[in-house]
Amino acid sequence: MEQTLLLLQLSDSAFPTGGFSHSLGLESSVQHRQILHTEDLKSFITCALENAGSFNLPFVREAYTFCSDLKTLQQLDRLCNVSTANHIANRASSRQGRSMADTASKVFQADDLHQLSSGLKHRHYPVVFGAVCGCLGLPLELTRASFMSGVARTTVASAVRLDKLGPVEAQKTLAVLQKLIPDIIARNQSRSAEDACITFPVMDVLQNCHDKLFCKLFYS
């Protein structure tokens, strides 16, 4: 019960990681007229989940496994930084990770969590997320599911704010797309951080154009 409550706290929108300010490239895709219909949006979110599974989950898993090994976490953080060539995604990941590391170290008061704030230079979100969940003793299976669910929720919430979905339709869409998560996790559960990759690069290109938008609602 305690682990479930901890996971619910970490994944709650009230836990200040700044996820509400990121659209994962959706805003840029909308403004570049790549999202014209609901089916386009569903395809976008599916691609976002696939990219998160193939690129982020390996870092989440290895950071979880070595949550008490600062040297390994530093190596993972550096690898994540150089592997995230998209400067918008890189900046967003670091910003979210810093917020999560700082908040977790203040809320849970564990020595291993304090080293995340002081010992990691970039503090990329998947590395920090995996390490925090590992330090708190949460099951790996739930850690991965929570991370992927967060990607789906963030993208769907962004679609609502961009007026591409209504609140009820958004929840229906989320309920359908979340069924894809177990298969994505299963296909990437043994992938190493060194083999992490982007599966749908077009999304990466569109997100990379975010800073050039004339008017924008989201930070990324």
Mean pLDDT of the residues in the chain:
90
CA distance 95 to 152: 19
Token pair for 208: 């990379």
Concatenating the DSSP letter of every residue in 68-91 gives: T-HHHHHHHHHHHHHH---HHHHH
Q: Where are the beta strands (DSSP E) in 40-190?
A: none
Lowest mean pLDDT among 19-23, 39-43, 91-95, 166-170: 19-23
Question: For the segment 103-136, what is each residue's pLDDT rounded down to a tens digit?
Answer: 988 888 777 788 888 889 999 999 999 999 999 9
Can you give the pLDDT at residue 42?
94
Check whether 8 has a pLDDT greater than 90: no
Closest CA to 217 of 23, 50, 65: 23
pLDDT in tens, 157-181: 999 999 999 999 999 999 999 999 9
Q: For 36-207, which CATH superfamily applies?
A: Urease accessory protein UreF (1.10.4190.10)
Using alpha carbons, select from 145, 142, 158, 134 the residue that is nearest to residue 210: 158
User: What's the pLDDT at 188?
Assistant: 97
Residue of 120, 121, 95, 116 lying closest to 105 (CA atoms): 116
